[in-house]
Amino acid sequence: MTRPEPLNGEIFKHFKNNYYHIICVGHHSETEERMVVYERISKDDYLKDGSVIPVMEPCIRPLEMFMSEVDHQKYPDVEQKYRFERI
C-alpha cells in the first residue's frame, strides 16, 4: 500500500459523500490483518464547529479495502479516486 495509513481522529470522505471519523487502526488478533475502526459522522455538525457526532455504531473494515480505489466500472460517474479520502 502506497498511501499513508489513517491516523486516529482523522476525517475521511467516502465516495458516496458520507464522512467518517477514524477511531483507530489495529490488527485482527488471529490473522494479523490490518483493520480500520471508524464511525460515520454528521458532515454538517463536523464542519460547523469541529465536533465529531457519530450517527451510527462503529464499523470495522480491512485497511487494504478501506484504502482501495473506487471501482470505476461499477461507479463510472464517481470522480473521487479512492473509496475513502482524507479531508
pLDDT in tens, 52-71: 777 778 999 999 999 999 99
Contact between 37 and 26 under an 8 Å Cβ cutoff? The reply is yes
pLDDT score for 56: 78
Give the residue numbers spanning the domain of 22. Answer: 11-73
Cell of 18: 458520507
Report whether pLDDT(21) > 90.
yes
Tally of domains in the chain: 1
| Whether residue 16 has pLDDT greater than 90 | yes
- The 3-state DSSP class for residue 64 equals helix
2 falls within a domain: no
CA angle 17, 21, 24 (to 5 degrees): 135
In a domain, 83, yes or no: no
CA-CA distance, 61 to 31, in Å (whole number)? 14
